[in-house]
Amino acid sequence: MSVTAFYIAAVIAVLTTFLVITRKNAVQALLYLAVSLIAVAVIFYDLGAPFMAALEVIIYAGSIIVLFIFVVMMLNLGKRATAAEATLLRPRMWIGPTILAAILLAEIAYLLARGNTAASAAHLIPPREVGLALYGPYLLGVELSSMLLMGALVGAYHLGWHTQPKPETQDVRREHATSPDAGRGPVRSGSGRTVGAA
Amino acid sequence: MLELLFLVPVIPFASFIWLIIVGPRTSRNAVAAVGVGSIAVCTVISLVITGAYLASPPAGGAFTQVLWTWISVDGFTPQIAFYLDALSLIMMLVVSFVSFVIHLYSAEFMLESEGYSRFFAYMNLFVASMITLLLANNLLLLYLGWEGVGLCSYLLIGFWYQDSANGAAAQKAFIVTRVGDTAFAIGLFLLFTHLGTLDIQALMQRAMQQWPVGSTLAIVASALLLGGAVGKSAQLPLQTWLPDAMAGPTPTSALIHAATMVTAGVYLIARTHVLFSLAPPTQFAVAVVGAATLLLAGCSALVQHDIKRILAYSTISQIGYMFLALGVGAWAAAIFHFMTHAFFKALLFLVAGVVIQALNDEHDIFRMGGLRKDLPYAFWGFVIGGSALAGLPLITAGFYSKDLILWQTWNSDHGSVALWIAGLVGVLLTSLYIYRLIFVVFYGEKQMEVSHRPRWRIKIPIIVLSVLSLVGGFVNIPQMFGNVPALANLLHSALPEVVERHAAGITEGLSEGIAAIAFALGLALAYLFFLRKQGLAESMATSAAGRVIHRFWFADWGMDWLYDHLFVRPVIWFAHVDRNDFIEAFYTGVALLTEFSWRALRATENGRVRWYAAGITAGTVVFIAIVLWT
Amino acid sequence: MRRNLLFILMSIEIMLNAAGLAFVTAGARWAQADGQVMFIFILAMAASEVAVGLALLLQFYRQNESLDADAARQMKG
């Protein structure tokens, strides 16, 4: 039973991923991506990592994809962008990377075939063990990832800052230029900058 | 007193250093004082040394002063040492005195030119090199002085370097004399290889011991040295540089190209006379070169109209006389003529400079005329110098020295009648061209106004040299007039006597008489053609034959054209052809390769993120493959 | 190749997910918790990367008026 569930979920995952990268419409692609992630969550559950499955759905499919969709809605690209995408999906464009990916796939397949593939049943690894491992030997990683998240938060905040266009900087310079002139008499005219001073 | 010898080359060299470093920053008066003063000190020391030498001559007639050993390699130990005997004494005295007089002249003459201190620096360096050349006791030090004077000649010919024609003339001089210098160097190698030393006295002794008369080695070695002498002294076939060297300032022409450097070849042959005595064919070649040159140059001088070029060809011709004397074994006569020539040729150049400066740099004699009253010093300078050059009998120095040469040409064991006749024709030509010059420039109608009159620093040298041109001959009075061969006697401690042929057909007096007739004939012809019936000269020159001859002689008997077609053009053609040979392709290939790699690398930096990502992916694939399958 | 920056980011998410899947599978194969621990880290990192990446994408769009990755060619040498 779990084997068939695994195969069904695997096929769905691969199929939807392929669909993601070949769509022209960004929202369609995102929706297919969400389906793909849910299929992977099913695989996780089948492998005996129920906590991972839950995390996958909540964080990956739940927040990250939603974030993507927010951005797409905000940009509001419209039909023109979709049409532009169509012109770019020519075979000439994707043949090179496809070859590279195929070579990679072959390497991985070769590795798997070479290794000892005693197919064993999936053991259930309860979340308790994961938690103990996290706060045991992997404690440093936990702290580092918390710092990473903090940095990402601050960075995203700053990068998303909508800057207002500043007033003309010339005004500012003119204001500054009058101050050195204050000490000079009427002999010197002009902006007070020495011309051609190297 | 003789220990002061080393000061004579050292003082001008020290003043050269001072003038180069400090000179440009001091006043002209200071520069002139140092530049002229150093040579004055030299002259005084030379006189003192001469007095000491004559009063009590050193043992063997020679004094050697060793400063230090220059090189010490496996038996080859040339020293920095100076050798003073009668020959080098006379030459040093004449060179330093004439240099002093010319330096004094140029203190005023060069006032209008820029580079005043540079000029005096080069002139002082020249004097230092020339004295080194004269006093060297080994051929390597002599070669050092030889190269030094060549360098200064180049620097001074191209003194006004902003005009590229001057630079070209300087290059021509340097390259042509280089041909001679190469022959000289090969001769040095040969001498050292076979005789084991370059010390001149030792060399002469060993040559006499080891090489029989007429041996091939002696002939080859002396021929190579002759090649060097021919280059430096502007004789056939390397005389083409001297007329163009007149592009330099007039004091340079006077000092270097009349009185001193061009006589270095004469000195070399006189110094190594043993080698030439051991090689009769070469010695005969010397005489033939001298005779041919004096005729050739005399003819060329006759048709020139640049005042300095006439004097340049005249110099070539007179040195031909010296070579003629050396070739027939009349060593002392050659040195005597060198001395008198230094006086009157320097004088002629100096007064030519006065004329040129007075007419604002005009060189063409046919645009001058009637300057007799306006430039009296120049006029009398030309008359005295010109007469000395032509050999006005009895009262000019040139008469005594030139006639001595003519007589020895007939009289000597190595001489012949043909050479004597050549010398006589030369006298006629000399008289003709110099009086042509005088009549055209100083008589006739005045065409240009004089704008510049000489002052005391120019007048005094002219006076001094004029006096010497008149009385300088009395140091060696021939038999007929009193028989006081003082100079010859002095030189016999250094140079052998003339081997005389006693089946002579004429006496010395008859030879002198015939020479005097030749002189008079030349003067008369010049008077006729250029003062009285000027139309006659015109018609001769414009006749068909006359025009061809005129053009031929004007172009120095076509030698420039010959060399241009024989040497210069093939080399230039070859350089052009060789410009893109396969070695060039190698370097061009390197450049092209670099450019190609640049283009290729530039294409990878196209700023596109996707491109970089693809690069990363491809790299990853390759690395994984390597890890898996190696 | 896709030039749209949005799709590029999506593809990055797919890749990260795939790596995480490999980790969990390996952990399950050998019955150790380490695979899942790695997956948690990957998840945290992917989340932060998406946040920053999307912020950058918004800035990019504001400057270049399009999401074409090739439009950012100022570093062209």
What DSSP string describes A21-36?
HH-SSHHHHHHHHHHH
Give me the phi and psi of A134, to 5 degrees please: -60, -50
B177 pLDDT above the threshold of 80: yes
Q: Does B605 touch chain C (CB under 8 A)?
A: yes
Size of interface B-C (CB pairs under 8 A): 26
Q: Does A38 touch chain C (CB under 8 A)?
A: no
Strands B484-485 and B476-477: antiparallel
CA-based end-to-end distance of chain A: 83
Q: What is the DSSP letter of B50?
A: H
The set of chains that have 3 or more CB pairs under 8 A with C is A, B
pLDDT of residue B102: 93
Q: Does B112 touch chain C (CB under 8 A)?
A: no
Higher pLDDT, C76 or B195: B195
CA-based end-to-end distance of chain C: 22
Alpha helices, H only, B456-527? 456-471, 486-491, 508-527
Q: Does C73 touch chain B (CB under 8 A)?
A: yes
pLDDT of residue B64: 87
- Within 8 A of A16 by CB-CB distance, chain C residues are none
How many Å apart are CA A80 and CA A74, to the nearest integer? 16
In 3D space, the residue among B168, B130, B144 whose CA is nearest the CA of residue B247 turns out to be: B168
CA-based end-to-end distance of chain B: 92
Among B252-266, B504-518, B610-624, which is the least confidently predicted range?
B504-518
Kindly determine whether residue B624 and residue A107, on different chains, have CB atoms separated by under 8 Å.
yes
How many Å apart are CA B76 and CA B139, to the nearest integer? 12
pLDDT of residue B42: 93
Kindly determine whether residue B628 and residue A111, on different chains, have CB atoms separated by under 8 Å.
yes
Q: Does C10 touch chain A (CB under 8 A)?
A: yes
In 3D space, the residue among B86, B60, B139 whose CA is nearest the CA of residue B494 turns out to be: B86
Q: Does C3 touch chain B (CB under 8 A)?
A: yes
Kindly determine whether residue A103 and residue B617, on different chains, have CB atoms separated by under 8 Å.
no
pLDDT of residue A197: 40
Give counts: helices (H), strands (E), chain A: 9, 0
Q: Does A91 touch chain C (CB under 8 A)?
A: no
B379 pLDDT above the threshold of 80: yes
Buried/exposed code over B346-380 (b: 16+ C-beta within 10 A; e: otherwise)? bbbbbbbbbbbbbbeebbebeebbebbebbebbbb
> Which residue on chain C is closest to B600 by alpha carbon?
C77
Distances (CA, A) of A6 to A41, A49, B187: 11, 13, 103
Distances (CA, A) of B327 to B228, B250, B419: 15, 31, 10
pLDDT of residue C77: 61
How many Å apart are CA A30 and CA A43, to the nearest integer? 20
Confidence of residue C27 (pLDDT cuts 50, 70, 90): confident
Token pair of C30 as six digits: 């050998």
In 3D space, the residue among B129, B99, B347 whose CA is nearest the CA of residue B232 turns out to be: B129
Buried/exposed code over B22-48 (b: 16+ C-beta within 10 A; e: otherwise)? ebeeeeeeebbebbbebbbbbbebbee
Residues 130-149 of A with CB under 8 A from C: 130, 132-134, 138, 141, 145, 148-149
Among A37-46, B46-55, B528-537, which is the least confidently predicted range?
B528-537
Q: What is the DSSP letter of B262?
A: G
Among A22-26, B106-110, B507-511, which is the least confidently predicted range?
B507-511
Give me the phi and psi of B69, to 5 degrees please: -85, 125
Q: Does C33 touch chain B (CB under 8 A)?
A: no
Radius of gyration of chain B (CA): 29
In 3D space, the residue among B298, B291, B328 whose CA is nearest the CA of residue B315 turns out to be: B298
Strands B79-84 and B63-69: antiparallel
How many Å apart are CA A56 and CA A41, to the nearest integer? 6
How many Å apart are CA B446 and CA B442, to the nearest integer? 8
pLDDT of residue C33: 83
Write the residue in B606, B610, B614 that is nearest to C76 by C-beta: B606
Give me the phi and psi of B80, to 5 degrees please: -90, 95
pLDDT of residue A188: 41
Alpha helices, H only, B472-507? 486-491
Rounded to an integer, the average pLDDT of B42-53 is 92
Verify cis geometry, omega within 30 degrees of 0, for the bond prior to B237. Answer: yes
> Which residue on chain C is closest to A47 by alpha carbon?
C28
> Which residue on chain B is closest to C3 by alpha carbon?
B610
How many Å apart are CA B460 and CA B40, to the nearest integer? 14
- At B310-364, the pLDDT tens digits run 999 999 999 999 999 999 988 888 989 999 999 999 999 999 999 988 888 888 8
Q: Are C7 and C71 in contact (CB under 8 A)?
A: no
pLDDT of residue B516: 85
> Which residue on chain B is closest to A94 by alpha carbon?
B614
Kindly determine whether residue A43 and residue C4, on different chains, have CB atoms separated by under 8 Å.
no
> Which residue on chain B is closest to C12 by alpha carbon?
B613
- Within 8 A of B624 by CB-CB distance, chain A residues are 104, 107
- Within 8 A of C68 by CB-CB distance, chain B residues are none
Kindly determine whether residue A160 and residue C55, on different chains, have CB atoms separated by under 8 Å.
yes
In 3D space, the residue among B262, B240, B300 whose CA is nearest the CA of residue B566 turns out to be: B240
Kindly determine whether residue C6 and residue A72, on different chains, have CB atoms separated by under 8 Å.
yes
Q: Does A20 touch chain C (CB under 8 A)?
A: yes
List all residues 6 or more positions away from B466 whose beta carbon is below 8 Å from its beta carbon.
Answer: B347, B380, B381, B384, B385
**Residue type (1 letter), B535:** G
C1 pLDDT above the threshold of 70: no
Length of chain B: 630
Kindly determine whether residue A107 and residue B621, on different chains, have CB atoms separated by under 8 Å.
yes
Assembly ipTM:
0.85
In 3D space, the residue among B380, B139, C67, B431 whose CA is nearest the CA of residue A74 turns out to be: C67
Give the distance from residue C5's alpha carbon to the nearest chain A alpha carbon, in angstroms. 11
Q: Does C14 touch chain B (CB under 8 A)?
A: no
pLDDT of residue B330: 86
pLDDT of residue B188: 92
Kindly determine whether residue A125 and residue C36, on different chains, have CB atoms separated by under 8 Å.
yes
Give me the phi and psi of A78, to 5 degrees please: 90, -175
Rounded to an integer, the average pLDDT of B466-471 is 87
> Other CB atoms closer than 10 Å to residue B482's CB: what's the count?
9
Provide the CB-side half-sphere exposure for B624 (13 A, CA).
17
How many Å apart are CA A38 and CA B5, to the nearest integer? 112
* Residue reference for tokens 């990268």: A21
Which of the residues in chain A have pLDDT under 70?
A: 1, 78-91, 93, 115-122, 163-198
**pLDDT over 90, % of chain B:** 31
- At B593-613, the pLDDT tens digits run 999 999 998 887 777 777 788
pLDDT of residue A187: 47
* Residue reference for tokens 């022409």: B253
pLDDT of residue B41: 94
Kindly determine whether residue A17 and residue C14, on different chains, have CB atoms separated by under 8 Å.
yes
Distances (CA, A) of B571 to B565, B568, B579, C24, C51: 10, 5, 12, 83, 77
Write the residue in A104, A110, A111 that is nearest to B621 by C-beta: A104
pLDDT of residue A118: 58
- Within 8 A of A96 by CB-CB distance, chain B residues are 614
pLDDT of residue A117: 59
Rounded to an integer, the average pLDDT of B149-157 is 92
In 3D space, the residue among C26, C16, C41, C22 whose CA is nearest the CA of residue A133 turns out to be: C41
Burial class (CB in 10 A: 0-12, 13-18, 19+), B137: buried
Residue B364, beta-bridge partner list? B306
C55 pLDDT above the threshold of 80: yes
- At B209-252, the pLDDT tens digits run 888 888 888 899 999 999 999 988 888 888 888 888 888 899 99
Confidence of residue B144 (pLDDT cuts 50, 70, 90): very high
